[in-house]
Chains A and B, each alone.
Chain A
Amino acid sequence: MPEASTEARPEPKRQLPLLEPETAFFWTGGANGQLLIQQCAACGTYQHPPLPRCRACHSADVAPVAVSGRGRIATYTVNREAWLPGLKVPFVYAAVELEEQSQLYVFANILGLVEAVRIGLAVTVTFEQHEDVWLPMFEIHDDR
């Protein structure tokens, strides 16, 4: 698709998640600037997406806790196809491995320069509010 044609149209609205009992905390934690991830009080394991019980020990004692919001890019893709008229491309979609636990992944966009994105880079969460949803996004972490 010619890139020029994507500029002229209004950007399509993001399709937002339905806020459901098990997931609403994750999508609204950003209201307080917090990335909330479910943790098992019995064995300490974090899990995402949230589920009714701990997948590791099957305890029902699972609850959202605020995590650091820091992680690293486990893998990513630069989407270049405008799947919808007006969709702004390119953009980055990534799996971020949170620093709290190995292979604890959150999927999100990486903001900033597309060319800068690499596997292994440190990232920090930020939030983008759309209606009653705070989408977690990640920025490449600047240590300086």
Chain B
Amino acid sequence: MTGNAHAEKQVCITGAGQSEVGRPSSKSALQLTVDACMTAITAAGLTPRDIDGITTFPGRSGDTGGFSPVGSTEAMLALGMEPTWIGASTEGHAHLGAVISAVQAIASGMCRHVLVFRTVTQAQARLRSRSSTLLGKAGQPSRVEGANQWSVPFNAISPTNMYALYAQAYFDKYGATSQQLGAIAVNARAMASKNPNAIYRKPLTLDDYMASRVISTPLRLYDCDTHIDGSTAILLSHRDAARDLKLPPIHIEAMGMAIGGLGYGLHEGDFTSLPATRAGDMLWSHTDLTPKDVDVAQIYDGFSILTLLWLEAMQLCRPGEAAAFVEGGARIGLGGELPLNTSGGQLSAGRFHGYGHTYEACLQLWGQGGERQVEGAKVCAVANGGYGYGALLLRTD
């Protein structure tokens, strides 16, 4: 392995937990959070008082439709924790930004264990307001400022419109097709059928996909993930503190991060790749492992097109080749050369918002994948984000 110079080499994942998934859930956001956190902590053989750091993404945000209803302080109080370190940032490399800052806190010696969680109650919120758009409270005619002013005045009020621009450019440049893109959604559903905590488990065929309504060309209904209520927690520990815990430590072999102007009206390139490419470059520069060593991949699928772009950013496919790679689904299914999004991803397991991908990676590496377990999985790639980008390469001994 490439030395120990990088912060992530000091850190292991030692526990993980996930609440029930609901659409909506009858449990409160705080209850879902506590359920996930206690599962992660007890899986490691620890108690909340042993945990001296806590953080979340993006931090409590009030009236934003259940996007982040629970902050670190509330979780800390509810769990009876007395942490010395608490993550402060609400910006960063999207979902994995909180994991990355937790790694820094542990590697710098500020704490030994950090509980990282992410709670969403977007299904409960949707009962109060129908809005799923960038407008927030639906249709209020107040003026728009900041990044959204480059899309909202043109009635491009859904994130779907933004990623549709990428999908169309990608289709046009590489000759990719809807049938190829549809393989992402079909695979996600097949995986979800083997995941008891997935929100959508009914089989989905490519014909169903092709017959589904177009939202914003070329993206269809099943290219878009789905809002849920749920919480996920990941416990990170210093590698010296990880040795005596209950589960075999999962090593963070490498991590990568990047951010760009997408979402701020400033786009890099020709809309056929993401700044995530820089996150992939960084990740592989931190390890002697290569993309060929990856046994299973959990790749962000807020929209299916993001998975294609991330597969290329992570160098799991060459530029322009991801669509052909996933076509038909055999290569990305269980038993394929790169089983992909084995929980069902956000498309079918539900929008745990990035953290579902890391959670599933942990289950696979601990051999806890049940019916969807990838035989002998030792190395898992995780990629998160559509605006900011974070990636992890996780491995067991």
CB distance from B271 to the nearest CB of A (A): 5
Question: Contact size class for B?
Answer: 35 or more
- State whether A80 and B213 are in contact (beta carbons under 8 Å apart), knowing that A16-B143, A87-B155 are contacts in the complex: yes
Cβ–Cβ < 8 Å partners of B161 in chain A: 77, 79, 93
The residue that A13 contacts in the complex, of B141, B158, B166, B267, with Cβ under 8 A, is: B141
B127 touches A (CB below 8 Å): no
Within 8 A of B (CB), among A10-35: 12-18, 20, 23
How many interface residues does A have (CB within 8 Å)?
35
CB closest chain-A residue, reference B213: A80
**A-B pair number, CB within 8 angstroms:** 120
Interface residues of B in 250-280 (CB under 8 A from A): 264-271
List of A residues within 8 angstroms of B140 by Cβ = 15
Q: Are B271 and A15 in contact (CB under 8 A)?
A: no
Q: CB of B152 within 8 A of chain A?
A: yes
Kindly state the separation between the CA atoms of A81 and B215 in the bound complex, as whole angstroms.
5
Most buried by A among B157, B164, B167, B215: B157
Q: Is the CB of A80 within 8 A of B153?
A: no
Q: Is A105 an interface residue (CB 8 A)?
A: yes
Q: Are B155 and A77 interface neighbours, CB within 8 A? A: no
Which B residues between 201 and 219 are near A, CB-CB below 8 angstroms?
A: 213-219
| A-facing residues in B326-350 (Cβ within 8 Å) | none
**Distance A23 CA – B167 CA, assembled complex (angstroms):** 29
Query: Within residues 45 to 97 of chain A, which ones have a CB less than 8 A from any CB in chain B?
Result: 48-49, 74-81, 83-85, 87, 91, 93-95
Q: Does B172 contact A (CB under 8 A)?
A: yes
**In the docked arrangement, what's the CA distance between A79 and B159, Å?**
11
Q: In angstroms, how far is the closest chain A Cβ from the Cβ of B195?
A: 28
B143 touches A18 (CB 8 A): yes
Binds A, one of B41-49, B131-139, B238-246: B131-139
Judge whether A77 and B168 touch: CB under 8 Å: yes
Q: Is the CB of A107 within 8 A of B151?
A: yes
Contact of A79 among B145, B155, B269 (CB under 8 A): B155
- Residues on B facing A (Cβ under 8 Å): 132-133, 135, 138-145, 149-158, 160-161, 164-169, 172, 213-219, 264-271
* Extra contacts besides A75-B169, A75-B270, A93-B155 (19): CB < 8 Å: A12-B139, A13-B141, A15-B135, A15-B140, A15-B143, A48-B265, A75-B166, A76-B168, A77-B161, A77-B167, A77-B217, A78-B214, A79-B156, A79-B158, A79-B161, A83-B132, A93-B216, A107-B150, A119-B172
Q: Can you report 9 residue pairs joining A to B where beta carbons are below 8 Å apart?
A: A14-B155, A16-B153, A17-B143, A77-B161, A77-B165, A78-B217, A79-B215, A95-B271, A109-B155
